[in-house]
Structure 1
Amino acid sequence: MKYRFFIAFILAFSSALTMAQVALDEIVFENTDFNFGIIQAEGGIKTVTYKFTNTSANSFIIQGLEAACGCTNLSSDKEVYAPGEKGLITVDFNPENIKGEVNKWVYIRGNYSDGFQKDLSFVANVVSVTDRSPNRYYKGEFGYLMMDVNHFGWGSQLTGQVIIDTVKFFNDGYNDIVISSAKSSVPFVTVGNLPITLPVDSTAYMVVTADLRNVDTVGGYRGSIVLQTNDRFFPIKEFPVGIDLMQNFSHLKKRQLKKAPPLTL
Protein backbone atom coordinates (compact mmCIF):
# COMPACT_ATOMS: atom_id res chain seq x y z
CA MET A 1 0.00 0.00 0.00
CA LYS A 2 2.75 2.43 0.97
CA TYR A 3 4.65 1.51 -2.19
CA ARG A 4 1.62 2.27 -4.41
CA PHE A 5 1.10 5.57 -2.60
CA PHE A 6 4.75 6.51 -3.16
CA ILE A 7 4.53 5.70 -6.88
CA ALA A 8 1.33 7.72 -7.20
CA PHE A 9 2.98 10.67 -5.44
CA ILE A 10 5.98 10.58 -7.76
CA LEU A 11 3.75 10.43 -10.84
CA ALA A 12 1.62 13.31 -9.60
CA PHE A 13 4.69 15.39 -8.79
CA SER A 14 6.25 14.67 -12.19
CA SER A 15 3.01 15.54 -13.94
CA ALA A 16 2.72 18.84 -12.06
CA LEU A 17 6.33 19.68 -12.82
CA THR A 18 5.79 18.93 -16.50
CA MET A 19 2.57 20.94 -16.77
CA ALA A 20 3.89 24.01 -14.93
CA GLN A 21 5.20 26.58 -17.37
CA VAL A 22 7.04 29.89 -17.36
CA ALA A 23 6.73 32.93 -19.58
CA LEU A 24 9.65 33.87 -21.81
CA ASP A 25 10.08 37.24 -20.11
CA GLU A 26 10.11 35.59 -16.67
CA ILE A 27 13.51 34.08 -17.50
CA VAL A 28 15.50 37.29 -17.25
CA PHE A 29 18.91 37.28 -18.95
CA GLU A 30 21.57 39.81 -17.99
CA ASN A 31 22.68 39.85 -21.62
CA THR A 32 21.30 38.21 -24.74
CA ASP A 33 24.09 39.17 -27.14
CA PHE A 34 27.86 39.44 -26.98
CA ASN A 35 30.63 40.92 -29.13
CA PHE A 36 33.97 39.08 -29.12
CA GLY A 37 35.52 41.84 -31.21
CA ILE A 38 38.53 40.95 -33.37
CA ILE A 39 39.78 37.43 -32.67
CA GLN A 40 42.25 35.06 -34.28
CA ALA A 41 41.13 32.01 -36.20
CA GLU A 42 44.17 30.27 -34.70
CA GLY A 43 43.54 31.61 -31.20
CA GLY A 44 41.56 28.68 -29.82
CA ILE A 45 38.06 28.40 -28.39
CA LYS A 46 36.37 31.57 -27.13
CA THR A 47 33.84 31.34 -24.32
CA VAL A 48 30.97 33.55 -23.23
CA THR A 49 28.45 32.95 -20.46
CA TYR A 50 24.86 34.17 -20.43
CA LYS A 51 23.51 34.64 -16.90
CA PHE A 52 19.81 34.48 -16.13
CA THR A 53 17.35 34.44 -13.22
CA ASN A 54 14.09 32.53 -13.01
CA THR A 55 11.62 35.17 -11.80
CA SER A 56 8.62 32.89 -12.35
CA ALA A 57 6.62 31.22 -9.59
CA ASN A 58 7.24 27.90 -11.37
CA SER A 59 10.39 25.93 -12.06
CA PHE A 60 12.18 26.61 -15.33
CA ILE A 61 13.16 23.42 -17.17
CA ILE A 62 15.74 23.47 -19.95
CA GLN A 63 14.53 21.00 -22.54
CA GLY A 64 17.18 21.53 -25.17
CA LEU A 65 20.17 23.61 -26.27
CA GLU A 66 20.88 24.13 -29.93
CA ALA A 67 23.37 26.13 -31.99
CA ALA A 68 22.98 27.25 -35.58
CA CYS A 69 26.62 26.38 -36.31
CA GLY A 70 28.74 23.29 -35.74
CA CYS A 71 31.50 25.62 -34.52
CA THR A 72 29.52 26.31 -31.35
CA ASN A 73 28.88 24.14 -28.28
CA LEU A 74 26.41 24.94 -25.51
CA SER A 75 25.99 23.77 -21.94
CA SER A 76 24.01 24.74 -18.86
CA ASP A 77 25.02 24.38 -15.23
CA LYS A 78 21.85 22.31 -14.57
CA GLU A 79 18.46 21.45 -16.10
CA VAL A 80 15.84 22.54 -13.56
CA TYR A 81 15.85 25.97 -11.91
CA ALA A 82 13.59 26.68 -8.97
CA PRO A 83 11.75 30.02 -8.66
CA GLY A 84 14.26 32.78 -7.93
CA GLU A 85 17.24 30.60 -8.85
CA LYS A 86 20.06 31.87 -11.06
CA GLY A 87 21.63 29.93 -13.91
CA LEU A 88 24.34 29.97 -16.57
CA ILE A 89 24.39 29.12 -20.24
CA THR A 90 27.97 28.63 -21.46
CA VAL A 91 28.76 29.01 -25.16
CA ASP A 92 32.09 27.85 -26.63
CA PHE A 93 32.92 29.20 -30.09
CA ASN A 94 35.70 27.63 -32.16
CA PRO A 95 36.80 30.11 -34.88
CA GLU A 96 39.17 27.67 -36.59
CA ASN A 97 38.87 27.81 -40.40
CA ILE A 98 36.46 30.76 -40.15
CA LYS A 99 37.25 34.17 -41.58
CA GLY A 100 35.46 37.49 -41.55
CA GLU A 101 32.53 38.84 -39.59
CA VAL A 102 30.21 36.24 -38.07
CA ASN A 103 26.82 36.53 -36.38
CA LYS A 104 25.85 33.32 -34.59
CA TRP A 105 22.64 32.33 -32.82
CA VAL A 106 22.00 29.82 -30.06
CA TYR A 107 18.62 28.62 -28.87
CA ILE A 108 17.41 27.74 -25.37
CA ARG A 109 14.33 25.52 -25.39
CA GLY A 110 12.30 25.11 -22.23
CA ASN A 111 8.87 24.84 -20.63
CA TYR A 112 7.72 28.20 -21.97
CA SER A 113 4.03 29.05 -22.03
CA ASP A 114 4.25 31.69 -24.76
CA GLY A 115 7.02 30.58 -27.08
CA PHE A 116 9.18 27.75 -28.31
CA GLN A 117 12.67 29.00 -27.45
CA LYS A 118 14.83 31.86 -26.20
CA ASP A 119 17.30 33.25 -28.76
CA LEU A 120 20.81 34.37 -27.79
CA SER A 121 23.49 35.64 -30.15
CA PHE A 122 27.13 36.65 -30.45
CA VAL A 123 29.24 38.35 -33.10
CA ALA A 124 32.95 38.30 -33.89
CA ASN A 125 35.37 39.47 -36.54
CA VAL A 126 37.62 36.48 -37.21
CA VAL A 127 41.03 37.16 -38.72
CA SER A 128 44.03 35.01 -39.47
CA VAL A 129 47.48 35.66 -38.02
CA THR A 130 48.88 35.34 -41.53
CA ASP A 131 46.73 38.29 -42.65
CA ARG A 132 47.21 40.57 -39.67
CA SER A 133 48.56 44.09 -39.89
CA PRO A 134 52.06 44.49 -38.41
CA ASN A 135 50.84 47.56 -36.48
CA ARG A 136 48.20 45.82 -34.39
CA TYR A 137 47.69 42.77 -32.22
CA TYR A 138 44.67 40.61 -31.60
CA LYS A 139 43.23 39.42 -28.33
CA GLY A 140 45.16 36.46 -27.02
CA GLU A 141 48.17 36.97 -29.27
CA PHE A 142 50.30 37.96 -26.28
CA GLY A 143 47.90 36.63 -23.67
CA TYR A 144 44.94 38.47 -22.23
CA LEU A 145 46.89 40.04 -19.35
CA MET A 146 48.66 43.08 -20.79
CA MET A 147 51.47 44.98 -18.99
CA ASP A 148 52.73 48.52 -19.55
CA VAL A 149 56.37 47.45 -19.02
CA ASN A 150 58.29 44.38 -20.14
CA HIS A 151 61.24 44.82 -17.77
CA PHE A 152 62.47 46.71 -14.72
CA GLY A 153 65.81 48.43 -15.25
CA TRP A 154 66.58 50.74 -12.36
CA GLY A 155 70.08 51.57 -13.61
CA SER A 156 72.69 52.68 -11.07
CA GLN A 157 71.39 53.14 -7.54
CA LEU A 158 72.95 53.81 -4.13
CA THR A 159 72.58 51.37 -1.26
CA GLY A 160 70.63 52.39 1.83
CA GLN A 161 67.41 53.41 0.06
CA VAL A 162 64.03 51.90 -0.81
CA ILE A 163 62.76 52.06 -4.39
CA ILE A 164 59.03 51.61 -4.99
CA ASP A 165 57.73 51.12 -8.52
CA THR A 166 54.51 49.90 -10.12
CA VAL A 167 53.38 47.75 -13.03
CA LYS A 168 50.12 48.62 -14.75
CA PHE A 169 48.02 45.67 -15.95
CA PHE A 170 45.07 45.63 -18.34
CA ASN A 171 42.60 42.78 -18.83
CA ASP A 172 42.24 42.46 -22.61
CA GLY A 173 40.28 39.22 -22.42
CA TYR A 174 36.72 38.04 -21.97
CA ASN A 175 36.76 36.84 -18.34
CA ASP A 176 38.19 38.01 -15.03
CA ILE A 177 41.95 37.53 -14.67
CA VAL A 178 43.57 36.80 -11.32
CA ILE A 179 47.26 37.42 -10.58
CA SER A 180 47.62 34.98 -7.72
CA SER A 181 51.32 35.10 -6.81
CA ALA A 182 54.73 36.46 -7.77
CA LYS A 183 58.29 35.34 -7.16
CA SER A 184 61.45 37.41 -7.59
CA SER A 185 64.86 35.84 -8.15
CA VAL A 186 66.53 39.03 -6.87
CA PRO A 187 66.51 38.67 -3.06
CA PHE A 188 65.85 42.30 -2.16
CA VAL A 189 63.07 42.79 -4.75
CA THR A 190 59.56 41.94 -3.55
CA VAL A 191 56.04 42.20 -4.97
CA GLY A 192 53.11 43.42 -2.90
CA ASN A 193 49.31 43.79 -2.97
CA LEU A 194 48.61 40.30 -4.34
CA PRO A 195 46.35 38.62 -5.29
CA ILE A 196 44.87 41.03 -7.83
CA THR A 197 41.60 40.43 -9.68
CA LEU A 198 41.00 42.31 -12.92
CA PRO A 199 37.48 42.36 -14.41
CA VAL A 200 37.21 42.56 -18.19
CA ASP A 201 38.55 45.84 -19.68
CA SER A 202 39.83 47.03 -16.30
CA THR A 203 43.26 48.11 -15.06
CA ALA A 204 45.15 47.45 -11.84
CA TYR A 205 48.58 48.18 -10.43
CA MET A 206 51.11 45.83 -8.84
CA VAL A 207 53.66 47.30 -6.42
CA VAL A 208 57.32 46.28 -6.80
CA THR A 209 59.77 47.22 -4.04
CA ALA A 210 63.57 47.13 -4.06
CA ASP A 211 64.78 47.43 -0.45
CA LEU A 212 68.47 48.36 -0.61
CA ARG A 213 68.91 49.29 3.04
CA ASN A 214 70.53 46.02 4.12
CA VAL A 215 72.36 45.06 0.93
CA ASP A 216 76.09 44.69 1.64
CA THR A 217 77.38 43.59 -1.74
CA VAL A 218 77.59 46.19 -4.48
CA GLY A 219 77.66 45.44 -8.17
CA GLY A 220 75.19 44.33 -10.81
CA TYR A 221 72.11 42.27 -9.99
CA ARG A 222 70.12 40.57 -12.72
CA GLY A 223 67.07 38.35 -12.37
CA SER A 224 63.36 38.20 -13.08
CA ILE A 225 59.90 38.39 -11.56
CA VAL A 226 57.58 35.47 -12.37
CA LEU A 227 53.82 35.94 -12.06
CA GLN A 228 51.29 33.13 -11.73
CA THR A 229 47.95 34.01 -13.37
CA ASN A 230 44.87 32.35 -14.81
CA ASP A 231 45.50 33.90 -18.24
CA ARG A 232 44.11 31.27 -20.60
CA PHE A 233 47.01 31.24 -23.07
CA PHE A 234 49.97 32.55 -21.04
CA PRO A 235 49.39 31.75 -17.35
CA ILE A 236 53.05 32.40 -16.49
CA LYS A 237 54.25 35.97 -16.99
CA GLU A 238 57.95 36.72 -16.57
CA PHE A 239 59.85 39.96 -16.97
CA PRO A 240 63.53 40.73 -16.23
CA VAL A 241 64.82 42.89 -13.39
CA GLY A 242 68.17 44.67 -13.34
CA ILE A 243 69.94 47.09 -11.01
CA ASP A 244 73.55 48.23 -10.46
CA LEU A 245 74.31 48.98 -6.81
CA MET A 246 76.91 51.47 -5.64
CA GLN A 247 77.97 52.04 -2.04
CA ASN A 248 76.42 55.11 -0.46
CA PHE A 249 79.04 57.03 1.55
CA SER A 250 76.87 60.07 2.26
CA HIS A 251 76.21 58.98 5.84
CA LEU A 252 79.92 58.80 6.73
CA LYS A 253 81.67 61.60 8.58
CA LYS A 254 84.77 63.28 7.15
CA ARG A 255 87.01 61.42 9.62
CA GLN A 256 85.57 58.09 8.44
CA LEU A 257 86.01 59.04 4.81
CA LYS A 258 89.70 59.88 5.39
CA LYS A 259 90.24 56.42 6.86
CA ALA A 260 88.56 54.70 3.91
CA PRO A 261 91.00 52.65 1.80
CA PRO A 262 91.88 54.14 -1.58
CA LEU A 263 90.21 52.71 -4.65
CA THR A 264 92.49 50.83 -7.02
CA LEU A 265 91.43 50.91 -10.66
Structure 2
Amino acid sequence: MKKILTFIAIAAFGLTTQAQTGAKIEFKDKDNTIDYGTVTKDGDSGIRTFEFKNTGDAPLIITNVQSTCGCTVPTKPTEPIMPGKMGKIDVKYNMNPGPIRKTITVESNAVNYEGGKVPLKIKGTVVAPEQVNIMEKKKTLPSN
Protein backbone atom coordinates (compact mmCIF):
# COMPACT_ATOMS: atom_id res chain seq x y z
CA MET A 1 0.00 0.00 0.00
CA LYS A 2 2.84 2.36 0.85
CA LYS A 3 4.42 1.73 -2.56
CA ILE A 4 1.16 2.54 -4.34
CA LEU A 5 0.77 5.84 -2.48
CA THR A 6 4.38 6.75 -3.23
CA PHE A 7 3.82 5.96 -6.91
CA ILE A 8 0.65 8.10 -7.01
CA ALA A 9 2.45 10.99 -5.29
CA ILE A 10 5.34 10.84 -7.78
CA ALA A 11 2.94 10.64 -10.74
CA ALA A 12 0.90 13.61 -9.48
CA PHE A 13 4.07 15.66 -8.97
CA GLY A 14 5.25 14.74 -12.48
CA LEU A 15 1.98 15.86 -14.03
CA THR A 16 2.00 19.23 -12.25
CA THR A 17 5.54 19.96 -13.43
CA GLN A 18 4.52 19.14 -17.02
CA ALA A 19 2.06 22.05 -17.15
CA GLN A 20 3.97 24.97 -18.61
CA THR A 21 3.56 28.18 -16.73
CA GLY A 22 5.42 31.32 -17.65
CA ALA A 23 5.77 33.50 -20.72
CA LYS A 24 4.78 32.02 -24.09
CA ILE A 25 5.41 33.59 -27.48
CA GLU A 26 3.12 33.01 -30.47
CA PHE A 27 3.95 34.64 -33.81
CA LYS A 28 1.24 35.81 -36.19
CA ASP A 29 3.01 34.78 -39.42
CA LYS A 30 2.60 31.23 -40.69
CA ASP A 31 5.70 29.15 -39.91
CA ASN A 32 7.30 32.29 -38.40
CA THR A 33 8.17 33.36 -41.96
CA ILE A 34 7.67 36.60 -43.85
CA ASP A 35 7.74 36.37 -47.64
CA TYR A 36 8.87 39.57 -49.35
CA GLY A 37 7.81 38.13 -52.70
CA THR A 38 9.56 39.72 -55.68
CA VAL A 39 10.50 43.32 -54.96
CA THR A 40 12.74 45.96 -56.55
CA LYS A 41 15.66 47.46 -54.71
CA ASP A 42 14.50 51.07 -55.14
CA GLY A 43 10.80 50.33 -54.74
CA ASP A 44 10.88 48.80 -51.24
CA SER A 45 12.31 49.95 -47.91
CA GLY A 46 13.13 46.37 -46.89
CA ILE A 47 11.40 46.76 -43.51
CA ARG A 48 9.02 44.04 -42.33
CA THR A 49 7.44 43.39 -38.93
CA PHE A 50 7.01 40.12 -37.06
CA GLU A 51 4.03 40.48 -34.70
CA PHE A 52 3.66 38.20 -31.70
CA LYS A 53 1.52 37.76 -28.62
CA ASN A 54 2.43 36.69 -25.10
CA THR A 55 -0.03 33.85 -24.56
CA GLY A 56 1.51 32.87 -21.23
CA ASP A 57 0.86 33.98 -17.67
CA ALA A 58 4.12 35.86 -17.01
CA PRO A 59 5.87 38.85 -18.64
CA LEU A 60 7.72 37.93 -21.84
CA ILE A 61 11.25 39.30 -21.98
CA ILE A 62 13.07 39.36 -25.33
CA THR A 63 16.75 39.27 -24.35
CA ASN A 64 18.35 39.19 -27.79
CA VAL A 65 17.47 39.22 -31.48
CA GLN A 66 20.22 38.47 -33.99
CA SER A 67 20.52 37.79 -37.69
CA THR A 68 22.66 35.33 -39.60
CA CYS A 69 24.36 38.21 -41.46
CA GLY A 70 24.92 41.96 -41.37
CA CYS A 71 22.56 42.56 -44.30
CA THR A 72 19.56 42.00 -42.02
CA VAL A 73 19.10 44.25 -38.99
CA PRO A 74 16.44 43.30 -36.42
CA THR A 75 15.19 45.49 -33.57
CA LYS A 76 13.72 44.05 -30.39
CA PRO A 77 11.24 45.37 -27.85
CA THR A 78 12.94 47.11 -24.93
CA GLU A 79 10.15 46.53 -22.40
CA PRO A 80 8.64 43.21 -21.23
CA ILE A 81 5.48 42.13 -23.04
CA MET A 82 2.75 41.49 -20.47
CA PRO A 83 0.47 38.41 -20.67
CA GLY A 84 -2.18 38.82 -23.38
CA LYS A 85 -0.38 41.77 -25.00
CA MET A 86 1.12 42.08 -28.48
CA GLY A 87 4.69 42.94 -29.39
CA LYS A 88 6.71 43.33 -32.57
CA ILE A 89 10.16 42.76 -33.98
CA ASP A 90 11.11 44.92 -36.96
CA VAL A 91 13.54 43.55 -39.53
CA LYS A 92 15.31 45.66 -42.16
CA TYR A 93 16.90 43.87 -45.11
CA ASN A 94 19.43 45.89 -47.14
CA MET A 95 17.74 44.95 -50.44
CA ASN A 96 20.77 43.63 -52.34
CA PRO A 97 19.56 42.13 -55.64
CA GLY A 98 19.18 38.35 -55.50
CA PRO A 99 17.37 35.79 -53.38
CA ILE A 100 16.51 36.52 -49.73
CA ARG A 101 16.94 33.56 -47.38
CA LYS A 102 17.76 34.77 -43.87
CA THR A 103 17.13 33.56 -40.34
CA ILE A 104 16.68 35.77 -37.29
CA THR A 105 17.00 34.13 -33.87
CA VAL A 106 14.90 35.48 -31.01
CA GLU A 107 16.11 34.69 -27.48
CA SER A 108 13.57 35.06 -24.69
CA ASN A 109 12.18 33.59 -21.49
CA ALA A 110 9.38 31.83 -23.45
CA VAL A 111 8.68 28.36 -22.08
CA ASN A 112 7.00 27.05 -25.25
CA TYR A 113 10.29 26.96 -27.22
CA GLU A 114 13.35 24.98 -26.20
CA GLY A 115 15.78 27.33 -24.48
CA GLY A 116 13.45 30.23 -25.29
CA LYS A 117 14.97 30.45 -28.80
CA VAL A 118 12.65 31.05 -31.74
CA PRO A 119 13.86 31.06 -35.37
CA LEU A 120 12.22 33.60 -37.67
CA LYS A 121 12.73 33.55 -41.42
CA ILE A 122 12.51 36.03 -44.26
CA LYS A 123 12.46 35.00 -47.89
CA GLY A 124 11.87 36.50 -51.29
CA THR A 125 13.72 37.93 -54.27
CA VAL A 126 15.10 41.41 -54.86
CA VAL A 127 15.44 42.43 -58.49
CA ALA A 128 17.50 45.35 -59.76
CA PRO A 129 15.52 48.13 -61.40
CA GLU A 130 15.69 48.06 -65.17
CA GLN A 131 18.53 50.23 -66.44
CA VAL A 132 17.78 52.52 -69.38
CA ASN A 133 20.76 53.61 -71.42
CA ILE A 134 19.94 56.95 -73.06
CA MET A 135 22.87 56.52 -75.45
CA GLU A 136 21.42 53.29 -76.82
CA LYS A 137 19.63 53.63 -80.11
CA LYS A 138 15.94 52.82 -79.79
CA LYS A 139 14.62 50.16 -82.07
CA THR A 140 11.29 51.31 -83.38
CA LEU A 141 9.14 50.19 -86.22
CA PRO A 142 8.58 52.69 -88.97
CA SER A 143 5.13 54.25 -88.80
CA ASN A 144 2.91 54.28 -91.86
1:51 aligned onto 2:51: yes
- Conserved in 2, the CA contact under 8 Å of 1:63 and 1:79? no
- The 3-state SS of whatever aligns with 1:57 is coil
| Aligned with residue 97 of structure 2, among 85, 99, 106 | 99
Q: How does 1:74-153 map to 2 (within 5 A)?
A: 74-95=74-95, 98-113=96-111, 114-130=114-130
1:65 aligned onto 2:65: yes
Report percent identity of matched pairs: 26
Aligned amino acid, residue 97 of structure 2: K
- Conserved in 1, the CA contact under 8 Å of 2:62 and 2:77? no
| Aligned with residue 28 of structure 2, among 14, 26, 30 | 30
> How far apart in 2 are the matches of 1:106 and 1:128?
24
Cα distance, 1:40–1:102 mapped onto 2, change above 3 Å = same
Query: Taking structure 2 as the reference length, what is the TM-score of the superposition?
Result: 0.65
Q: Structure 2: any 5+ residue segments left out of the alignment?
A: 1-20, 133-144
Q: How does 1:1-265 map to 2 (within 5 A)?
A: 21-22=22-23, 26-31=24-29, 32-43=32-43, 45-95=45-95, 98-113=96-111, 114-130=114-130
Report the CA distance between 1:54 and its aligned residue.
Answer: 0.5
What do the CA deviations read for 1:206-248 (whole angstroms, capped 9, x no partner)? xxxxxxxxxxxxxxxxxxxxxxxxxxxxxxxxxxxxxxxxxxx
What do the CA deviations read for 1:25-81 (whole angstroms, capped 9, x no partner)? x31111111111111234453111111111111111010010112111111343311
Q: Structure 1: any 5+ residue segments left out of the alignment?
A: 1-19, 133-265
Aligned amino acid, residue 70 of structure 1: G
- Conserved in 2, the CA contact under 8 Å of 1:71 and 1:94? yes
- The 3-state SS of whatever aligns with 1:80 is coil
Aligned amino acid, residue 118 of structure 1: V
Query: Taking structure 1 as the reference length, what is the TM-score of the superposition?
Result: 0.37
Structure number, greater radius of gyration: 1
Aligned Cα root-mean-square deviation (Å): 2.2
> How far apart in 2 are the matches of 1:104 and 1:131?
27
